[in-house]
Structure 1
Amino acid sequence: MMTPRRSVLKSGATLLAGAMASGATRALAAPPTPQPTPIPTTPAPGRTTDLNSRRPAPGDRKFTSPAVEERIRQVSAQVADPELAWMFANCYPNTLDTTVWMGTVEGKPDAFVITGDIPCLWLRDSSAQVWPYLPLAKDDPQLQALFNGLIARQARCLLIDPYANAFMQDPQARTNLSWALHDQTDMKPGVAERKWELDSLCWTLRLAAGYWQATQDKRPFDELWANGARAALRTIREQQRLHDHGPYAFRRPDGNATETLMLFGYGAASRKVGLIHSMFRPSDDACTFPFLIPANLFAASALKGLAKVAAEARGDTALARDAMALSLELDRALLDYGQMAGPDGNPVWAYEVDGFGNGFFMDDANVPGLSSLAYLGAVPRNDPLFRRTEALAWSSRDPYFFKGAAYEGIGGPHAGLGMIWPMSMIIRALSSDSPAEILGLLRSLKATHAGTGFIHESFQQDNPGEFTRSWFAWANSLFGELIIDVNRRFPTLLSQKL
C-alpha cells in the first residue's frame, strides 16, 4: 500500500496546488485542514527557472518571525548565486510559512507543527523543522512562543502515548490516516500513527536541550514537561527489555514487510544487552534487527541533554540522575555491541544488530543515520570511528548509496532503489570540513530541485524531475540550516556563482 511519503511526481507533470501531493495521496483532514504552498509545473529541459518567490503572500503565512525575516535578508545578500539565494529564501522559512498552527492551552502557548503534505505532527519532524530557528530565539519573543508551545505540545503527546510517532491536532480525535486505520496495536485518541521509533523521543529531548542552551528560558520546563520527560525515560527503559518484551506490539495487515513486525508484533529476537529496542527507523520503515545503532547513539546523547535541562532549568536532581545513568549504560553497551569490522578490518559503527553477534551495515538518509551522527552531536565530528563509518556509508558497501550519471547520495528502502534523498547531501555538507566537497554538494542541491525552489524527499538518481514529496518542510528547514552554516564557516563559497 502506497503512502503519501512514497507518492512520486513525474517530470513535466503539473504539481497540485491546494491539494495533498499527488493523485496517489490520500486527502487527509485535520482541524483546520492545511493546504500546501502552490508550486508551479516543473520546467521543461532548457527552460530558465523562474526566480520569483515561492513563499505564500505575507497575509497567508501561518507564522512570521521578524528575526527570521531579517536573517533571510542578511544571508541572501551574501549569496552571489541568484538561484541558490532564491532557494534559501524559499526553504528556510517554509516551516513557519506553511506548517505552524498557534493556539493556547490553559493560557499558555500551544504550537501544532505538521510535517507538510501530511497534516499531522511527527515528534521527529516537528523538532527538526524548527531547529534552525533556535539561534534566533533568545531575542525574538514570537519564536520563544513557538518553542514554548511546541515543547508543551510534545509533552502532551508523550503523555497520550510515548510509543507513538505521529499525532492528531485534536487530542480526542481518532486517526484519519488511511494506512493506519487497521493497525493492530493499542491506538489511543490523539494518535495518528503508533510506530515505536526510539529517535522520536530523542528528538523531543534534543529540542528541549537546544532551547534551554539557546535561551536559558525556564518557562517551558514546568511540571507538564517534566512528566513528559519522565514518560520518555520510562519508555526507553522499558525498551531495554531486560526482563520481558515490554508493552509494545504492532502489526499492520498490508503485506509490506517494511510496515509491520514479526513474532506477533514484537519484532525480531534479541539478546538483552542493555541497548534500546527500536521497532522502526526514522524513515518509519521496520527495523530488521531490533537494536538500531544510530538511534541508540542519539539516545545516549539526548539523555545527557535531558539531564542538563532537568538539573539546570528545574533543579530536578532525580530526573537528571536517572537520565545520566541510562545514558552511561548505553555508552557501555554501544562500545560492546554497536560496532563491526569494516572491509579493511578496522571497526565501524553497525547500522543494526541483535546482540547475538549478528548485524549488518547500511545507512538511511533519514536522521538519525550513521552519516548524521556528528550533525546530531552524538559523536565528535573529528572522531576517526565516525569518519570511517561515514566514508563507508558513502560507498558501494552501502546498498542504499545510489550513484547516477551526475548525482550521488544515500536513500533507503522507504522511497525505493535509485532514489537519492537530498537530505543525505545536506547532512554530508553539514558534517564536512572540506570546502571543495561542500561546493560540489551545493551544486548538486541547486541542480536537483526540479524548478520548484524547494527540497524534496527523494529524486531519481538520473532524473531529478522524478521526485517524492513536493511539500516536505523538514528538508526545506535543513537546507536553510546548511546555507547559514556555510555562510558562517566558509563565506567565500557563497560569494561565487555555482
Structure 2
Amino acid sequence: MIAPLIDRRTLIASAAALSVTGPLRAAPPAFASKRPALADRRFTSPAVEREIARVSAKIADPELAWMFGNCYPNTLDTTVFMGRVDGKPDAFVITGDIDAMWLRDSSAQLHPYLRLAANDPALRTLFHGLIGRQARSILIDPYANAFMHDPAARTNLSWSLKDVTDMKPGVAERKWELDSLCYPIWIAHGYWRATRDTAPFDALWAEAARASIRTMREQQRKDGPGPYRFQRASKIPSETLMLDGYGPPSRPIGLIHSSFRPADDACIFPFLIPSNLFAVAALRQLAVLATEARPEPKLAADALALADEVDAALRQYGTMRDTDGQQIWAYEVDGIGNAHFMDDANVPSLSGLAYLGCVSRDDPLWRRTAERAWSPRNPYFCSGKVADGIGSPHTWLKQIWPMSIVMHALNARDDRTVGQCLRWLKASHGGTGFMHESFDQDDAAKFTRSWFAWANGLFGELILDVAARRPALLKALV
C-alpha cells in the first residue's frame, strides 16, 4: 500500500523508473499496433476508425503512421467509462494512469474528436455524457480540479487524503486552478459549433455555468481572501499554499486568482496570465452558448461583463517589459508591481494561447512572447540530443514535455519548423509508440507517465492539422 503522504509526482516518477528499463532501450518498435483488442476498448467510434485509416494513408513514414494510429484513439480506447444518470448519458474520462477525472484533461482529451461529432451518433453521445458529468462535478465543488467516478466516494488519491481544505464527497483533488472552469466551457462551445446540438445544454448545465462565474468573481478577491484555502503536507513546496493556505499576497485589480497552475503546482504570483486570458475567451464563449444554445440573457450578460472586466485588467497589468525593453505577456503577476516571465508546457501556457483561441495567431504581442518562451529566456526551455522543447517545474529540469513541441508546431508558419517538430516527436517516444508527460532531453527512454492520454490526443491533433494544411509534408517526411 502507498504511504498516505506520498505525492503525485513521486508516484509517477516511481512508475516511470520501472517503465524505462530493459527492452525499451534494446529493441526498435516493430510497428505492430499498440491498441487494445477490439473487445477490450472502452469506447469505439466508426468515424474515428475511418479517420485513422484516411490520415494514416497520407503518412509516408511508417513509424509516424504507427504512432498516429496508437495515439489518436488512445482516449477512446482506454479512458472512457460510459453510463447513465437520470436517463441521460454520463461519461467519466480518466487521465490514463491516474484513476480520476480532471476537468482540464477530460476536455482536452475529447477535443481531437470534435470535428467528427456531427456525423457520428456515438461521439455525440460521448460529448453529451462529458458535458453533463462536468456540470455535475462543478456543482459538487467549483474549486476542485479532479473528481471521483462515484460522486459519493471520498478521494482515494494517496496525495490528497490529508489535505487541509474543504474536501467533499466526489472530489479527488481540490486545487483551485482557474483553467479548470474554463475548459468545460471551451469544450462545450466547441461541441456546439461542430454540431448545433442543444441537447447537452439543460438547466443543470446552466446552473454549473452560473456557479463558474460566481467562483471566478469570488477569486477576484475584491472583498477579502474569499472562501478557498488549501494546505498539504509535502516535501515539495509547490504542493501547498503559503499564508495559512490562501496563497501569496496580491492587490485586487480585476484579474482572477489561480492558486495553482495547470501542472497542479502552486503559483508564485497569484494572477496567472495564461489562465486569465483563457478565462476571457471562455466567458465570451459562454455568452455565445447562453445566447444561441440555451437562451439565458442574464447568464450571457454576466459572462460578458466579467470577460470585459478581466480583459481590461489584463491590458493594464498582464504585460511586462523584457530585458530589451519590448512588451511581452508576463506569466504571473501580483497586482502590486511584481511580475515574472517563464512558460510551462501545460496548456494554458503562453505558448498555447492561439491553440485555445485566446489570441490571434498573427497577434504581434503574442508572437513576441511565444518566441521568448521557445528560447533560453524561458528557464524551462531545454535543448538536448533528442529534441528542443519546454518543460515544467512539475518534473525535473532538462525534461521536455511533448505537448510543448506540439504547440510549437501548431504555432509555426513554415514547413521546416513543423517537420523538425515531427522528427523530435518521433524521436521522443522511447520505443513505446506513445507520447509521454515528459522525456529526458538526451535520452527518450527516460520518461514520465507511460499512459498520459492528453499528450497522445494532442499528437493526434497535430497530425490531423498537418494532413489538412500541409499534406505534402507528411508525404515527404521519412
TM-score bin (small chain)? over 0.9
Q: CA deviation at 1:8?
A: 5.9
**Counterpart of 1:281?**
261
Residue 459 of structure 2 is aligned with which of 479, 485, 488?
Answer: 479
Provide closer, same or farther for how the CA distance between residues 456 and 126 of structure 1 changes in structure 2, counting only shifts above 3 A.
same
SS of 1:101 mapped into structure 2? strand
Q: CA deviation at 1:430?
A: 1.2
Q: CA deviation at 1:104?
A: 0.4
Give, in whole Å, the separation in 1 of the partners of 2:323 and 2:414.
Answer: 25
Residue 9 of structure 1 is aligned with which of 13, 16, 25?
Answer: 16
Give, in whole Å, the separation in 1 of the partners of 2:371 and 2:176.
Answer: 29
**Counterpart of 1:62?**
42
Q: CA deviation at 1:497?
A: 3.5
Structure 2 contact 419–477 (Cα < 8 Å) conserved = no
Deviations 1:390-448 (A, max 9, x none): 01011111111111134110001101111110110011111112110000000000011
Residue 103 of structure 2 is aligned with which of 120, 123, 126?
Answer: 123
**Counterpart of 1:170?**
150
**Counterpart of 1:290?**
270
SS of 1:374 mapped into structure 2? helix
Give, in whole Å, the separation in 1 of the partners of 2:443 and 2:302.
Answer: 50
Q: CA deviation at 1:109?
A: 0.2
Give, in whole Å, the separation in 2 of the partners of 1:127 and 1:432.
Answer: 24
Structure 1 contact 11–466 (Cα < 8 Å) conserved = no
SS of 1:213 mapped into structure 2? helix
Provide closer, same or farther for how the CA distance between residues 86 and 122 of structure 1 changes in structure 2, counting only shifts above 3 A.
same
Structure 2 contact 385–443 (Cα < 8 Å) conserved = no
Structure 2 contact 386–443 (Cα < 8 Å) conserved = no
**Counterpart of 1:458?**
438
Give, in whole Å, the separation in 2 of the partners of 1:133 and 1:408.
Answer: 28
One-letter amino acid of the counterpart of residue 94, structure 1: N
Structure 2 contact 33–70 (Cα < 8 Å) conserved = yes
Residue 228 of structure 2 is aligned with which of 221, 225, 248?
Answer: 248
**Counterpart of 1:42?**
24
**Counterpart of 1:158?**
138
Are 1:232 and 2:239 matched, yes or no?
no
Give, in whole Å, the separation in 2 of the partners of 1:222 and 1:403.
Answer: 48
Residue 139 of structure 1 is aligned with which of 108, 119, 124?
Answer: 119
SS of 2:476 mapped into structure 1? coil
Structure 2 contact 92–133 (Cα < 8 Å) conserved = yes
Moved more, 398-407 or 59-68: 398-407
Unaligned runs of 5+ in 1: 16-40
Q: CA deviation at 1:58?
A: 0.4
One-letter amino acid of the counterpart of residue 453, structure 2: A
One-letter amino acid of the counterpart of residue 51, structure 1: F
Q: CA deviation at 1:10?
A: 4.4
Structure 1 contact 170–190 (Cα < 8 Å) conserved = yes
Deviations 1:57-78 (A, max 9, x none): 0000000000000000000000
Q: How does 1:32-111 map to 2 (within 5 A)?
A: 41-44=23-26, 47-111=27-91
Deviations 1:457-485 (A, max 9, x none): 00011111000000000000000000000
TM-score (norm 1): 0.93
Give, in whole Å, the separation in 2 of the partners of 1:439 and 1:423.
Answer: 16
Q: How does 1:47-446 map to 2 (within 5 A)?
A: 47-446=27-426
Structure 1 contact 7–469 (Cα < 8 Å) conserved = no
Deviations 1:295-344 (A, max 9, x none): 00000000000000011011111000000110011110000000001222
Q: CA deviation at 1:12?
A: 7.7
One-letter amino acid of the counterpart of residue 282, structure 1: P
Structure 1 contact 8–467 (Cα < 8 Å) conserved = no
Q: CA deviation at 1:112?
A: 0.3
One-letter amino acid of the counterpart of residue 139, structure 2: L
Q: CA deviation at 1:5?
A: 4.0
Structure 2 contact 71–456 (Cα < 8 Å) conserved = yes
One-letter amino acid of the counterpart of residue 438, structure 1: V
Give, in whole Å, the separation in 2 of the partners of 1:7 and 1:367.
Answer: 24
**Counterpart of 2:3?**
none
Give, in whole Å, the separation in 2 of the partners of 1:12 and 1:415.
Answer: 16
Unaligned runs of 5+ in 2: 1-5
Structure 2 contact 291–300 (Cα < 8 Å) conserved = yes
Deviations 1:243-271 (A, max 9, x none): 11110000001232110000000000001
Structure 1 contact 65–140 (Cα < 8 Å) conserved = yes
Moved more, 250-259 or 131-140: 250-259
Q: CA deviation at 1:132?
A: 0.6
SS of 1:48 mapped into structure 2? coil
Provide closer, same or farther for how the CA distance between residues 2 and 160 of structure 1 changes in structure 2, counting only shifts above 3 A.
closer
Q: CA deviation at 1:232?
A: 0.7
**Counterpart of 1:20?**
none
Structure 2 contact 71–434 (Cα < 8 Å) conserved = yes
TM-score (norm 2): 0.97
Give, in whole Å, the separation in 2 of the partners of 1:395 and 1:110.
Answer: 43
Give, in whole Å, the separation in 2 of the partners of 1:406 and 1:482.
Answer: 19
SS of 1:381 mapped into structure 2? coil
Q: CA deviation at 1:55?
A: 0.1
SS of 1:9 mapped into structure 2? helix
Task: Tell me the C-alpha RMSD between the 2 structures.
Answer: 1.2
**Counterpart of 1:25?**
none
Provide closer, same or farther for how the CA distance between residues 350 and 8 of structure 1 changes in structure 2, counting only shifts above 3 A.
farther
Give, in whole Å, the separation in 2 of the partners of 1:482 and 1:159.
Answer: 33
How many residue pairs align between the two structures? 471
Q: CA deviation at 1:204?
A: 0.6
